[in-house]
């Protein structure tokens, strides 16, 4: 139990906001207002009401942030040794832990997610900085054997200024998983958090500064995608873009990046299958399926949003699933219910639209299916945990990312059909399987197109494990040592001796 956290939760629930939220962009080591003076508001999804204002940035603020990042690279940060960079990141990890309560409460209030999940995200963010702190001075090149008359080797150089476009579903953790390796590699960063959730990224930048990061190394410009995000990705002085968001915006970012031949990592959506085979441990599989789709009310790129289940166990499993869902509490994220709100009115309308379309097409709804209005948070944005039977592989409920607590069920016969069902969408981010037969599990892992496969525990692993997608889910990898290399440019040096 933490008294600090409890008093922050009480303050937020009683007053509808929190005192001391960061205000302004964070540019060159300090908070500054928008050059054009613009402001916008962030909403508490649990109440469906605005709780704080923040700076609405434009191209002028982006220019200032990119210029600060360039200066920082040319200054002491560019000369820091990898070990010195690692020490700063370790201090930042410690500061994140020292400020964990405040970060978690702000994250929950801003994004709507349950406080326990926000606390997990904060721990994950600290862990990301700790992991890459340890990696900063282990980023070796290779020596290349060319015979007695040559010396050949490679150097991993920082790519330069890295832009980070961050979504609203995991504001702090997405920022951390991109910014930590960028700083470890020696880059400078300009981050643009989602306009729905700007605050924890600003808090992170301030903590980084307190940890000893020189001014200008980590800048944050808040505002909309159109006014602040687009000028950032279109900036000629940006060397790399990490974008996490929708496929449509990802395509736009890629087109913009092409103009300047800017490197990019795209982490887009998913429609990830979770196969449950007849021989699976039924309780572990049930818990796994629930967590895969209901964590963060289903607003996860890697959510297990399709249950692919063997016919012989399908009816009993779906009955148990529907039974478990009836008892789930829904409410304000800071009250730690089983399911929190979705992030915005627009997202709620999108989810409801998909489910209404399925109902109209005749899909059977096994559970949920409607907007929820919990008695203690009636004006918030909530959707019931929902299970929908799919009508074949072409069904939109199977093909389209809903990004909400809606599980589509595909019934199959045997492993080959499970693999075919898993591979039936344009997305290829994650796939999971529950089975006691390891040979089946590995065959599935080989045959599905996905950036990562989870066997008998969905979301297994952490910052150590590379993460990213194929096809419409994007390309490039974050996390792990692969994530660090995303922020490096490789130089080969060969000498005749």
Q: Which residues are catalytic?
A: 267, 301
CA-CA-CA-CA torsion sign (165, 459, 296, 309)? positive
Residue 166 engages ligand TXE in binding (rule: CB under 6 A)? yes
Cα distance between residue 204 and residue 177, in whole Å: 12
Decide if 431 contacts 448 (C-beta within 8 A). Answer: yes
Hey, which residues between 251 and 280 contact ligand TXE (CB under 6 A)? 252-253, 267-269
Among 112, 167, 340, 483, binds ligand TXE (CB under 6 A): 167
If the CB atoms of residues 242 and 363 are measured against ligand TXE, the closer one turns out to be 242
Residue 161 engages ligand TXE in binding (rule: CB under 6 A)? no
Residue 468 engages ligand TXE in binding (rule: CB under 6 A)? no
If the CB atoms of residues 135 and 388 are measured against ligand TXE, the closer one turns out to be 388
Q: How many residues bind ligand TXE (CB under 6 A)?
A: 28
In angstroms, how far apart are the furthest CA atoms of the chain?
A: 79
Provide the minimum distance between the beta carbon of 14 and ligand TXE in the complex, in angstroms, as a whole number.
30
Among 246, 312, 370, 423, binds ligand TXE (CB under 6 A): 246
If the CB atoms of residues 15 and 255 are measured against ligand TXE, the closer one turns out to be 255
Hey, which residues between 395 and 424 contact ligand TXE (CB under 6 A)? 401, 403
3-class DSSP state for residue 141?
A: coil
Count of Cβ atoms closer than 10 Å to residue 399 Cβ: 16
Cα distance between residue 334 and residue 134, in whole Å: 34
Provide the minimum distance between the beta carbon of 197 and ligand TXE in the complex, in angstroms, as a whole number.
9
If the CB atoms of residues 73 and 201 are measured against ligand TXE, the closer one turns out to be 201
Decide if 96 contacts 431 (C-beta within 8 A). Answer: no
Residue 38 engages ligand TXE in binding (rule: CB under 6 A)? no
Hey, which residues between 205 and 244 contact ligand TXE (CB under 6 A)? 224-226, 229-230, 233, 244
Hey, which residues between 344 and 373 contact ligand TXE (CB under 6 A)? 347, 350
Q: Which residue is nearest to ligand TXE (CB)?
A: 225
Q: Interface residues with ligand TXE (CB under 6 A)?
A: 165-169, 192, 194-195, 224-226, 229-230, 233, 244-246, 249, 252-253, 267-269, 301, 347, 350, 401, 403
């Amino acid at each position: 139990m933490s008294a600090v956290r409890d008093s922050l939760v009480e303050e937020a629930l009683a007053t509808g906001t929190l005192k001391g939220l960061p205000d302004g962009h964070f540019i060159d080591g300090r908070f500054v207002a928008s050059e054009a003076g613009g402001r916008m508001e962030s909403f508490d999804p649990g109440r469906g009401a605005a709780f704080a204002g923040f700076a609405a940035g434009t191209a002028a603020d982006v220019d200032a942030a990119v210029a600060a990042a360039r200066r920082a690279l040319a200054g002491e940060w560019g000369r820091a040794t990898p070990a010195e960079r690692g020490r700063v990141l370790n201090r930042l990890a410690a500061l994140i832990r020292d400020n964990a309560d405040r970060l978690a409460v702000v994250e929950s209030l801003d994004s709507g997610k349950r406080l326990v999940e926000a606390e997990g995200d904060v721990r994950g963010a600290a862990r990301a900085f700790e992991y890459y702190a340890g990696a900063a001075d282990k980023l070796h090149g290779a020596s290349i054997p060319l015979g007695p008359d040559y010396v050949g080797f490679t150097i991993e150089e920082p790519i330069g200024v890295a832009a980070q476009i961050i979504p609203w579903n995991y504001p702090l953790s997405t920022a951390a998983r991109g910014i930590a390796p960028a700083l470890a590699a020696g880059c400078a960063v300009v981050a643009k958090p989602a306009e729905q959730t700007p605050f924890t990224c600003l808090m992170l930048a301030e903590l980084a500064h307190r940890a000893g990061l020189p001014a200008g190394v980590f800048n944050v410009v808040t505002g909309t995608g159109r006014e602040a995000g687009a000028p950032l990705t279109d900036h000629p002085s940006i060397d790399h873009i990490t974008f996490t968001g929708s496929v449509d915006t990802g395509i736009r970012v890629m087109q913009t990046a092409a103009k300047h031949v800017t490197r990019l990592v795209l982490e887009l959506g998913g429609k990830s299958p979770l196969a449950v085979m007849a021989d699976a441990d039924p309780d572990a599989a049930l818990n796994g399926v629930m967590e895969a789709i209901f964590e963060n009310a289903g607003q996860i790129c890697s959510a297990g949003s399709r249950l692919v289940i063997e016919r012989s166990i399908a009816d009993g499993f779906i009955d148990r699933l529907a039974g478990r869902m009836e008892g789930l509490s829904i409410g304000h994220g800071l009250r730690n219910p089983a399911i929190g709100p979705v992030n915005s009115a627009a997202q709620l309308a999108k989810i409801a639209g998909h489910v209404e379309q399925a109902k109209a097409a005749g899909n059977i709804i096994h559970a949920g299916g409607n907007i929820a209005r919990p008695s203690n948070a009636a004006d918030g944005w909530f959707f019931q945990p929902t299970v929908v039977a799919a009508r074949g592989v072409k069904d939109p409920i199977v093909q389209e990312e809903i990004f909400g607590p809606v599980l589509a069920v595909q019934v199959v016969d045997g492993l080959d059909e499970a693999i075919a069902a898993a591979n039936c969408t344009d997305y290829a981010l994650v796939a999971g399987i529950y089975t006691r037969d390891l040979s089946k599990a590995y065959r599935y892992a080989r045959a599905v197109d996905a950036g990562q496969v989870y066997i008998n525990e969905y979301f297994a692993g952490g910052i150590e494990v590379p993460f990213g997608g194929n096809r419409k889910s994007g390309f490039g990898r974050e996390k792990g040592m692969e994530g660090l290399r995303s922020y490096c440019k490789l130089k080969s040096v060969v000498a005749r001796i």
